[in-house]
Amino acid sequence: MMSAVPAPSAFNGARLLVVDDEAAQMKALCDTLELEGFQPTGFSSAKRALDSLRAGQHDLLLTDLMMPELNGIELIRAARSIDPDLAGIVMTGHGTIDTAVAAMQVGALDYVLKPFKLNVILTVIARALETRRLRLENAILQRRERERAEELAVAYRDLESFSYSVSHDLRSPLRAIRGFMSLYLDEFGETVPADARPLLDRVTAGAERMDRLIEDLLKFARFSRMPLTKHPVDLRAMVQTVVRELQDQEPQRTVSIEIGEMPPCNADPSLMQQVITNLLSNAFKFTRGNADARIVIASRVSPTENGGSECVYFVRDNGAGFDMKHAGKLFGVFQRLHSQEQFDGTGVGLSIVKRVLERHGGRIWAESAPGQGASFYFVV
């Protein structure tokens, strides 16, 4: 359904350039349009009107079609070469389809037949000004989109450069530290005093932790820019696979796993696998201190604000939990709510989960209390 044309009063103050070789008609039209709230400037000479035209000086050109110096179509063409944003309307007593087509081809937005009634020409002017306004707004949006695309391209190149620098330039000295420390301990380890050995071990552990931080930072950058390829994903099968892998990594542990309803979703399979892996890895990690560790992976249907419903997936554990007053930091990069001594990790996993889900148009949130486990809810 087409939107209604705004009332002419909506364009009060619009600057109109009126050109008609019949001076009396031109003046009468300018006087009338001025009474209607417009700002008309009239010329009986098309060449003089063109000579006076400056870009941005007028919003609309209202020109007669048949004139001795330049006809209305030629005038619109010449005027728009000076000011491409200028809207054009042709006034003619020879209202044929050919005239309308020719006028439109050079940029006229409309035409009106002489003799015209005031309400008719006001409606045509309002329609042309509204079209001009929409075109200008669209041009601004397109320019901003191009600028944004250019900014994103620069940011992407910077990220690629940064990732390369991190991967190569920062890891090189780390490899040197770890390599020389290993050589030193192999050759001189027996001569190192007992109270000095823990210090050397801390150097090695620090280098290894720095390497893990770099690897996780690169993962975060990679998952943030990977293209999305959505397909139907069998989340239940994916969860079962990830659970088996995690259990194989810790065969000595007994963890009660309950997998409930997990309806399929439309998502990027590789990225969703990262989401499931990170959430379940956290659940396994933070239940390590529990002899009766329990993890539930399931879904529920929840109402939405617009009266519909959505499928909410969740991963719930009875592990260490956290204080909800710190929940704002939970999904930040390198943000940790537990010390390294309590639980290992770099604090990147949940930030990757959040980023992946947001790229799918989804979201994630958590509920927890210290010592009472945690529940992570997400929508794809």
d(CA 56, CA 82): 9
d(CA 73, CA 366): 66
pLDDT of residue 339: 45
pLDDT of residue 229: 84
Q: Indicate the CATH number for domain 8-140.
A: 3.40.50.2300
CA 44 to chain centre: 52
Query: What does the pLDDT profile of the chain (380 residues) look like in tens digits?
Result: 444 555 555 677 899 999 999 999 999 999 999 999 999 999 999 999 998 898 889 999 999 888 988 888 889 989 989 998 888 998 887 666 677 677 777 778 888 888 888 888 999 999 899 988 998 899 899 999 888 888 877 766 666 666 666 666 677 788 888 888 888 888 888 888 888 888 888 888 878 877 776 776 676 666 666 677 899 999 999 999 999 999 998 889 889 999 999 999 999 888 898 899 989 999 999 898 888 999 999 999 998 888 889 999 999 999 988 888 877 778 876 555 554 444 455 567 788 889 889 989 999 999 998 888 999 999 99
Q: With contact defined as beta carbons under 8 Å apart, do 42 and 18 qualify?
A: yes
- What does each C-alpha distance from 140 to 56, 59, 60, 114, 136 come to in angstroms? 15, 17, 19, 35, 6
- What does each C-alpha distance from 108 to 105, 201, 212 come to in angstroms? 7, 80, 64
Instruction: Please determine whether the domains at 8-140 and 231-379 fall in the same fold group of CATH.
Output: no
The CATH number fitting domain 231-379, selected from 3.90.1570.10, 3.30.160.40, 3.30.360.10, 3.30.565.10: 3.30.565.10
d(CA 77, CA 71): 10
Residue 197: what residue type? R
pLDDT of residue 31: 94
pLDDT of residue 309: 92
DSSP 208-262: HHHHHHHHHHHHHHHHHHSPP--EEE-HHHHHHHHHHHHHHH-TT---EEEE---
Dihedral of the alpha carbons of 126, 130, 133, 137, in degrees to the nearest 10: 170
Q: Tokens 């050919």, residue?
A: 98
Which pair of structure tokens corresponds to residue 316? 């719930």
pLDDT of residue 347: 62
pLDDT of residue 3: 47
- Any bridge partners for residue 92, and if so which? 113
Residue 344: what residue type? D
d(CA 314, CA 177): 42
- What does each C-alpha distance from 138 to 132, 144, 148, 183 come to in angstroms? 10, 10, 15, 65
Domains of the chain, residue spans: 8-140, 170-225, 231-379
pTM comes to: 0.51
Terminal-residue alpha carbon distance, the chain? 33
Q: With contact defined as beta carbons under 8 Å apart, do 321 and 289 qualify?
A: no
